[in-house]
Amino acid sequence: MQRNTIRSIGVLSASICVLCALSAAQADPVSLVATQDPTVNSTFTLDFGVYGGPRQANITTTTYALETDAVGGTARFTSYFQTVDPIELPGGISTGDITVTIQESLPGPYDPVTGLFTTQDVYLIYFAGDLTPFGLTSPVALPGSAGGTIAYTSATGGSIVSAWDGVGQLQNPSDPQNPINFTYNCNTSTTFTVVPEPATLALLGLAALGARRRRD
């Protein structure tokens, strides 16, 4: 009976260790690994104002990792990859296929209660077409601000509705003294899974190992 009591105490201690590790994991930053939701239309829009108005293309692929820190109240992208259909620029010139990555993402505010987040980023826009008439060579760096809402549907996943936008300028081939100003907007819907940070994974691994040893 004494042996069973000692064994029970060991299992209880192991359980407490695991619970403590899980509690610590919840306090650590987590990475939300997101992929585009095929059931929702995601779009990229360039608005050239008097030079042709808005031009919109479908986003065909989106994958990114968004790191959230519930305790610190911050969020930032740690990776970003997106493909977009060609967009026609003023004068009928096509961008060709577009690829978007992220050069820099600065932490912005994140509210774990509402799921609202904001980041300040620099996006790299790669294009397959010849845009030298506009003074552009691939890639083009565009600064912008991203924001959206994270909605958990389980402890390990959910959805994100987000948008990033900003402004830019093109060289005007027909009137070099008057550049073409434009705004841009990217609207994306994704689903995500939660990936703990490496330190959290290590902590959980140690707790599980301790639990197995105590059970044995």
Question: Phi and psi for 155 in degrees, rounded to 5?
Answer: -70, -15
Going from the C-alpha of 109 to that of each of 4, 24, 73, 88, 170, the distances in angstroms are 51, 21, 6, 35, 32
The pLDDT value recorded for residue 27 is 61
The torsion angles phi and psi of 145, rounded to 5 degrees, stand at -120, 130
How many alpha carbons fall within 13 Å on the CB side of residue 44? 19
Pick from 29, 30, 16, 10: nearest CA to 193: 30
In 63-90, which positions are buried (b, 16+ CB within 10 angstroms) versus exposed (e)?
ebbbbbbbeeebbbbeebebbbeebebb
Return per-residue pLDDT of the chain as tens, 216 residues: 545 444 444 444 444 443 444 444 456 899 999 999 999 999 999 999 999 999 999 999 999 999 999 999 999 999 999 999 999 999 999 999 999 999 999 999 999 999 999 999 999 999 999 999 999 999 999 898 999 999 999 999 999 999 998 898 999 998 989 999 999 999 999 999 998 755 444 444 443 444 445 445
Rounded to whole angstroms, the Cα distance separating 155 from 74 reads 19
Whether 84 contacts 98, CB under 8 Å = yes
Tokens of 146: 């991203």
